Structure 1
């Protein structure tokens, strides 16, 4: 197999991930084994794919945070502009205003409850929530000592470090 064919085969492996599909382990394994290249070369290309996808994941996480901040900013702007518009119409005593592009009608909606000091609220208005969740650190310690616990098992967690 010449270098061009080899590069083309690894581009096909990369393309499996580029369309956003979740590729099964078996499909990935079969695809990589079909290339028929030496283990070192194949593992080196896999390391490249891992680095590339880690970078993409980091980029997407950063982009999501940026977009969430932009969304929150837009929502806050909408709320401030709406409050100003409603206040301006209330101050003018207008129940409806028809402009060239819009019909504006201030409306009353259900009032919002604002908690100024939760400690000052009488007990009859308080709700106590009790939640339970497995204590993973205690479960881990007991499972590690060999104890068998129904509904729980240890799953090996091995990964290869890329440097």
Structure 2
């Protein structure tokens, strides 16, 4: 079923974008149609909306998947480019269109095992009973050369494209 099979009055109603629940009820009440015909047309409209919802849900999933794919691809390309420049020991590469400069950013704090993190790096107040790791405190400790079980620092190197 599609909107073209609806009566003209229902078609005009379906084409409107300003339908809040009150306006919808008032407008449906104002349509002079047999009760069964009114319900039949509303059911057709609902089926049409179900079809639209399914289409949009699939489209949203498709766009989300494509966005994730492109983000991951970009990340992989940047990693490859950074490693290629680093392997040659270069600080800067000039191409026809770009200047590529690998640089180091602040290291990332990686929590391998939350249950192994010592008590002094946990925040029990935040979630009342459960704990949250104080990643900034863990970072400072690791940076100062202390050993923090269940955590380590990861290099964060990337290339700037100018």
TM range (shorter): 0.5 to 0.7
Deviation (angstroms), 1:112? 1.1
* Cα shift at 1:12: 0.2
Structure with higher helix content: 1
Cα root mean square deviation, aligned: 2.1
Q: Which structure's residues are more often strand, by fraction?
A: 2
Distance 2:31 2:52 in 1: 25
List runs of 5+ in structure 1 lacking aligned partners.
1-5, 133-163
**Are positions 1:100 and 2:96 aligned together?**
yes
Higher relative contact order (CA closer than 8 Å, sequence separation 6+): 2
1-structure distance, mates of 2:110, 2:57: 33
Measure how far apart 1:22 and its partner are. 5.3
Question: 66-75 or 76-85: which moved more?
Answer: 66-75
Structure 2: which 5+ runs fail to align? 1-5, 130-162
Determine the structure 2 residue equivalent to 1:62: 58
Runs of 4+ in structure 1 deviating by more than 3 angstroms, as ranges, are none
Aligned to 1:10: 10
TM-score by length of 1: 0.67
Identify which range, 80-89 or 62-71, moves more after superposition: 62-71
TM-score (norm 2): 0.67
